[in-house]
Structure formats: structure tokens, C-alpha cells
Amino acid sequence: MSETTTTAPAKGTLPGPDGAPRCPWGLSTEDYLAYHDTEWGRPVHGDDALFERLCLEAFQSGLSWLTILRRRETFRAAFAGFEIAAVAEFTEADRTRLLADPGIIRNRAKVDATLANARLLADWPQGELDALIWSYAPEPAGRPAPRTVADVPAVTDASTALAKELKKRGVRFVGPTTAYALMQACGLVDDHLADCVARGTGTR
């Protein structure tokens, strides 16, 4: 989550409602607390699941992740559960519907990128998106646990390489920062702070 480096102060963990230490951003709202404790940093696999995360991270660009998180169910309803095959069949009428839907982010470039990406990925062999994304997961042993928010990067060499490869293959609206946010959210990296109760809860 890019917000761990932009909105939270450069400090370590803070006690949560149960007294256990957590990343500071995870304590700012109840929505974040649940997301931090049960989703962020836990491995996500499957082409459709990763397509959803890729799309939502793109929609988040320039906005707060909380805005996306609170609209996630509306996004899912609008985009057929982010099933690649279904979204690939969306028509111009669907595009018009999406651009008029107040429950999502009505950004023309982001909507168009989502539809184009679905059409592109529908032609990929099953499992290829999952394999491609996860091939950029660094070895956990080579990454020291961040002790403060200031230690959490917004971009890495791996996220830059992942974004470059996705773009090379025709995937739209993905840059190094969006790619790293995806890597954080989907468990390719564990950026929970060293003392955070959620650190190490995910397994590949």
C-alpha cells in the first residue's frame, strides 16, 4: 500500500484496540484495521483475483486507498466480479454504464484501461498472469523487515521490472508504484513492520 509511505508518520508500530502492535496506517479507520489484519500482505493467487487487485490499484492511483476499499463491493458488482472472461465481453453499453456509475471511480482512462486489459488477458493461457506476477516476488530472506514506516519503499527494482514487463505485454495503466502497491497487497513482499502482529502471517 503506497499510503504507508505517504500518509503515515515515520514511526514504528502502535498498539491496536487489543493492545497488539500494528502498522500505524492500519489503525486510522476500522476499514483499514480489518484490511490490515486479514488481507494486506497475504498471498493472493489466481488470474481473476490478481486482475481485480491490478485494476483496483490502478483506480487508486492519485486517490486514497480507503476510497477504493470502501467502494470495493460496488466495483465488483460493476465489473462482473472482475472475472477476466466476463469483463472481456463488455460492450460499449457497459462502458457507458460504468462511466455513469457513481459507486465507482468514473475516470475514463482507468475504465478504458480495465476493459482493454481484460480483453488482452482473456487471450493469455490460464495461470499466466499469476505466474508472471509472482515471478517478480523477491526472496524474503533478502529483504530486512522494515522497522518504521520510513523504511517501507514506494518503488523497488522488482516493481519497476514488473511494470515494464506488463507494459511490454500490453497491460495498460501500470507503473512501478502501482506495481509495488500490488506486490505489497498480494503478499509478494511482506511490508508489515518488524514488530507488527500481522507480519509473517502470510505464506506463499
Yes or no: say if 173 and 61 are a contact pair by the CB < 8 Å rule: yes
Domains, the chain, in order of start with CATH, read 42-184 (1.10.340.30)
Instruction: Please give the chain's pLDDT, 204 residues, in tens.
Output: 544 444 444 589 999 999 999 999 999 999 999 999 999 999 999 999 999 999 999 999 999 999 999 999 999 999 999 999 999 999 999 999 999 999 999 999 999 999 999 999 999 999 999 999 999 999 887 789 999 999 999 999 999 999 999 999 999 999 999 999 999 999 999 999 999 999 987 655
35 is catalytic: yes
Q: Are 134 and 188 in contact (CB under 8 A)?
A: yes
Does 65 participate in catalysis according to the annotation?
yes
Name the catalytic one among 40, 57, 136, 180: 57
Q: Quick check: pTM over 0.85?
A: yes
- From the candidates 25, 40, 65, 136, which is the catalytic residue? 65
CA atoms of 138 and 92, how far apart (whole Å): 40
Annotated binding site for Zn(2+), which residues?
A: 23, 36, 192, 196
Could you tell me which of 187, 174, 157, 189 has the C-alpha nearest to residue 49?
187
Binding-site annotation, residues:
23, 36, 192, 196
Identified catalytic residue from 25, 32, 35, 180: 35
